[in-house]
Structure 1
C-alpha cells in the first residue's frame, strides 16, 4: 500500500524532516511572539482566558468569565474549541501565552505535514515528502498564520489530508475510525472550513469513492455519523443557543462573501489572493483530472469567478470566500505530487517563490508592530457577537476593539449578593441561560441583557446550571466515542488476525 520511492516511506527520517520544516516555518513566532495580525487579539485573549478557567477547575471552559472587563462571554458555546483548548492547556501548564500560541501553531503545522505525507504515500505519489513539505509551506497556510492570525482555521487544514485518506480508503475497516475522527476534529476546530470542505472536498470525494466501489457507501455514512456524533457536545449548544447572543453581527456586510470578490474594492494586502488562485489552478493541471478539478473549482469559487454559489444560504455563512484556498491548496498539491517530474519541479518552484514573495512583502513587516497586549489585559474585549442580543453598550468599535464599559464597573458581582432593602438588582455579568439566580435555594426570575432581578432583603446567589443542550450533546458524544472505540478495536483486531493468518500461511 505504501510507497517507499526515494526513501520517503520508511523509517523515522521523514517524520524528523517534517518536524524540522514545521519548526523552521514557525520559528519567527517561537522567537519573537505572534505578530500583529487580524486575529492576534483573540488568539491571545482566548488562550489566556481558557488557561484561567482551567486554573479555576473548569475542565471544558465554554464561559469566559474575564471577557468584557469581567462581564463574561459564552465564547466557546459557539466557537469551535479544539485549537484553543490546546493553546490554553499549554498556557495552563506553564508556558507564556505567546509561547503557547506558537507551540500550538507548531503542533498543527507538523500534523498537517504528517497527514499530507501519509495521504500521498497511500496514493503512491513518487515523492510524498516533497508534497508534505509543500503543503506545510503553501502560501495560504502561511497567510492564515502570519497575516490573518487565524489560528483555528490554520489548525483545521491539518484535518483535510486525513479526511481525504479516510474517504479514499473506504471500505477498508481502518478507514471508518480514521474518517470519523478526522471529521469530528474538523468540526471541533473550525466550522466555516468544515462547511467549505464538506461541499468542495468531502462531497465530491465521497461520490467518487462510491462510484468506484458501492461498498464504500454504508461505511462512509457510518463514519460521518460517528464524527458528527463525537462533536455533538459542541455542535448541539452552538446551533441551538444563537438566539441568546448578538449573532446578527456575524452577518454584517463585512462578513458576507459577496463583498470580497476580487473585482470589487479589494484591500491591497489581499491582492495576492486572486494570483494565488491562478497559481494553484495551473499547478493542478495534470492528466488525472479529479484533484485538478477540485483545485481549480475551489480556487475559482474562492475569488468570485463562480459568484452565484455564494447566494446559496448555507455557503453564505462561510463569511470569507478566500477560505476555500485552503481546500484548493490541498487538492493542487495532491495533483502536483503525482504529476510528471518536470511539472512537479515547476510547480514546487512556483509555490516556493510565491511564498517567499509573500513572506517579504506581507508577513515580515507585521513583526514590526507587536499586538497591544497591555490594552488586551485591561479590556478583555471579546468578539462582540457574543454579547447578549439586546445589549447596546456605548462606544462599540469592532475594528479598534474598543467598548465603553465604564458604566457597569461599579455594579455588584456574584456569586453571592446581599440585598438589604427591596430593589431591582443589576449585576456586573451578562445574562445567558446557564445562569440561575436563587434565594434560599429557590430560583428567582431574572432577565437580561445584564442579569437583572427584583429582590427583597436576603442573600442571592448566581449559580451555574447545565442546559439540556449540554446534557444531550454530551450523551450523544459519549455514545459516539464508545462506538468509535469499539470500531477501532475491531478494525485493529481484524487487521492483526489477517496479518497473523498471512504469517502462518507463509510459514
Structure 2
C-alpha cells in the first residue's frame, strides 16, 4: 500500500512556511552550534559585525565609519561595502549581545534571509502557474543548492553575496507582477532592486541581468507590440527607481574610490574575470575554487539538460517561455565560466565588475530550481510518479551533500578554518583596501596613545583626558601649557574638522608620517593653551549628501506609489463587496 501526503497538506501556508524555515535552519546549524568562523572571508565579516553592532546600539543607523577597527585608526568599510547583512545581523544583538556571539548573529541573519528567499522562490513559482507541491519543491531545491548553501556560506564565506542571492527570487516575482500589470508591482520591483544594491553590488548586477533575461521572455510571450513596450518601459523605469533608492550607498561607493590607498584588492589583477576561467591557460590562484567551479558547472548543466524535455512541455505558454529563459541562463553561465568567453571579459564591460565569473552560478542555481519545479509538474500531470519522485531524491542528495561537504571541510587540517572565534577577535584589522595607511608605521608612532602632539609643547606639556565618542565624532578634554598641534588616532580619509569648546568648526590638517602616499594620513587639530574640550568629526562628503537627497526623494515617490495602490485596492474591494450585496 502506497502512502502519500495529500495535496491540500502541501497547499497549507503554515506547513510550507514552517518546512522552509526548518530547512534553512538545518543548513545553518553548523554556524549556529559550532560558532566557528565560516570560510575564507569569515573573519572580516565577524569583525565588521562586532563593530557595526556597537555603532547601531549607539544610535548610528548607517555606520559607514568604524572608528575602533585597524588598531583604533578606523575603517571606511561601509562607505564602499553594502551593509544589508550587517544590518540584519545587528537586529539580533539584544538576543546575542556579546562580541564572541557575532558569528551566531550572522548565522541567524543568513537563516532569516534564506527563509525569506525561499518564500520568494515559492511565490515566484506559484505566480508562474506551478502547483503548490512543485513550488515547495523548487524553493527547497534552491535552499539546498550547493553554491548558495555551502560554497557561498561555508567555503568562500561570501556572506553578502549569499544575502543578495536570497533577494533574487523576490526580484523575479516582482518582474512577473510587472509584466502582468498588477497594481503596486512597479514600486515593489524598484524596491527589490534597491534592496539588492544594499546587499551586494555584484549581486545586483547579476540579479538585474538574470531577471532582465527572464523579463524579455515574458515580454515576448505578450500579444501585441504595445503590450511588450509597456512592460519593457515599466521594468526599466522601476529599475531606475531602485538605483535611486540605493543612491545613499552607491554614490559614496563610486565617488570616493580615490581615497582608497590600496585599490588592488578591488580592481587589481587578482580580481579580473579572465583569471578565473575554466580550460584557460592562465593558472588559477585558488585550486579549490577551480574544483568547485568545474564541479558545479558540470552538475548544473547536467541537471538542466535532464529537466529540459519536461520543463518545456508544460501547458502554459508563459511557463514555456520561462523554461526556455532558465535553460538559456544555465547555458550562458556555463559558457561565461570557460575560456571561450575570454574576449567578452577582456572588453571590461560593467559586467566585469562582478570580478569572479563563478558568481554567476548563483543565478544558474535558481534557474535549475525553477526548471525542476516545472518538470515536476509535467511528470505529475503525465502520471510519471517515479520521475517526479527522483526530484525529491535530488533534494535529499543536495542536503546530504551540503552537510557532508561542511563536515569534510571542518575535519580536514586547519586550512579553511585557521582561526577560532577568539583568535578572530584578537585582531580588528580590516581587509587591505580599507586600511588607509601603513598600520605598522602609525601604530609605532602612536603606541597606545589616542592622540599625539606633533609640534608645540611636546607630550610633557599636555594632559589628555579620556577620549570619548563613536561613529564619526570624537571628543577629549585636555590641559596644555601652550598651543600645540594634536594628531588624532584616526585615519584622515576624506578630511576631518575640529572645534574647541563648542566653537566654530575648522578644517583639520592632514598629516603624513611617511614619505610614501601609502603611509596614510591622520587629522591634526590646532589647540590653544589652557584647559579646553576638543571635538573632531569626519565631515560628510558631497557624494553622501547627494546620495541622501536622491534616496530621500525616491523614497517619497515609493511611499506615494504604495499608498496610492493601497487606497485603490481598498476602493476596489469595497466596490466589489457592494456589488456582491446588490
**Pairing partner for 1:484 from 558, 561, 566:** 558
Secondary structure of the corresponding residue to residue 129 of structure 2: coil
Q: Distance in 2 between matches of 1:365 and 1:432?
A: 39
Q: Alpha carbons of 1:37 and 1:367: their partners in 2 closer, same or farther (altered >3 Å)?
A: farther
What TM-score, normalized to structure 2? 0.78
| 1:321 pairs with one of 341, 344, 357 | 357
| Partner Cα separation in structure 1 for residue 188 and residue 404 of structure 2 | 38
Tell me if the contact between 1:146 and 1:363 (Cα under 8 Å) persists in the aligned partners: no
Contact 2:121 2:169 in 1 (8 A): yes
Is 1:132–2:139 an aligned residue pair? yes
Q: Match for residue 491 of structure 2?
A: 430
Quote the residue 1:265 is aligned against: 283
Q: Which residue of 2 aligns with 1:387?
A: 435
Change beyond 3 A, Cα 1:223–1:455: same
**Alignment gaps of 5+ in structure 2:** 1-5, 313-319, 452-473, 512-519
The alignment status of 1:107 with 2:103, answered yes or no, reads: no
Query: 1:174 is matched with which residue?
Result: 184
Match of 1:401 in 2: none
Q: SS where residue 74 of structure 2 aligns?
A: coil
Structure 1 residues 356 and 217, CA gap change in structure 2 (3 angstroms)? same
Q: Structure 2 vs 1, CA of residues 347 and 359 (structure 1 numbering), >3 Å: closer, same or farther?
A: same
Q: Which residue matches 1:278?
A: 298
Distance 1:456 1:159, change over 3 A: closer
**Per-residue displacement from partner, 1:441-474 (whole Å, max 9, x unpaired)?**
3414412523243746446532243323222222
Matches within 5 A, 1:43-54: 43-54=45-56
1:310-459 map, 5 Å? 310-313=345-348, 314-339=350-375, 340-341=378-379, 345-346=389-390, 349-350=393-394, 352-353=396-397, 356-362=400-406, 364-366=408-410, 371-388=419-436, 391-394=437-440, 405-413=443-451, 415-416=475-476, 418=478, 420=481, 425-433=486-494, 435-439=496-500, 440-447=503-510, 449-453=520-524, 455=526, 457-458=528-529
Question: Which of 259, 271, 275 does residue 255 from structure 1 map onto?
Answer: 271
Query: Equivalents in 2 of 1:322, 1:281: separation in Å?
Result: 14
Q: Secondary structure at the match of 2:426?
A: helix
Superposition map of 1:228-243 within 5 A: 228-243=243-258
Superposed CA RMSD: 2.7
Could you tell me how far apart the structure 2 residues matched to 1:92 and 1:240 are?
35
- Post-superposition Cα deviations, 1:254-299, rounded to whole Å, max 9, x if no partner, equal 2222212223434443303222112222323422312111122123
Paired residues for 1:26-37 under 5 Å: 26-37=28-39
Cα displacement string for residues 52-71 of structure 1 (whole angstroms, at most 9, x for unaligned residues): 11233322211111110110
**Residues 181 and 347 of structure 1: is their aligned pair in 2 closer, same or farther, counting only changes over 3 Å?**
same
TM-superposed deviation, 1:186: 0.5
Deviations 1:159-189 (A, max 9, x none): 1111111112222223212212211110000
Cα shift readout 1:189-239 (whole Å, capped 9, x = no counterpart): 00111112223x133233334442322133223321221121111111111
Choose which of 11, 14, 17 in structure 1 pairs with 2:13: 11
Where in structure 2 are the equivalents of 1:454-465 lying within 5 Å?
A: 455=526, 457-458=528-529, 460-465=534-539
Q: Which runs of 5+ in 1 are unaligned?
A: 396-403
Please report how far the alpha carbon of residue 138 of structure 1 lies from its aligned counterpart in structure 2 after TM superposition: 0.7
Aligned match for 2:43, one of 41, 44, 57: 41
Q: Could you say which residue in structure 2 is the equivalent of 1:186?
A: 196
For these two proteins, the number of residue pairs brought into alignment is 493
Q: CA deviation at 1:322?
A: 0.8
Instruction: Determine helix, strand or coil for the equivalent of 2:199.
Output: coil
C-alpha deviation, 1:144, in angstroms: 0.9
**So what's the TM-score if we normalise by structure 1?**
0.89
Contact 2:85–2:106 under 8 Å retained in 1: no
Cα distance change of structure 1 residues 101 and 452 upon mapping to structure 2, 3 Å threshold = closer
Aligned partner of residue 91 in structure 2, secondary structure? helix
Asked whether the equivalents of residues 37 and 43 of structure 2 are also in contact (C-alpha less than 8 Å), the reply is no
Q: How many Å apart are 1:81 and its aligned residue?
A: 0.5
Which secondary structure does the structure 1 equivalent of 2:13 belong to? coil
Instruction: Identify if the C-alpha distance between structure 1 residues 347 and 379 changes in structure 2 by more than 3 Å, giving closer, same or farther.
Output: same
CA distance in 2, matches of 1:239, 1:92: 34
Aligned residue number for residue 88 of structure 2: 86
Separation in 1 of the partners of 2:136 and 2:257? 43
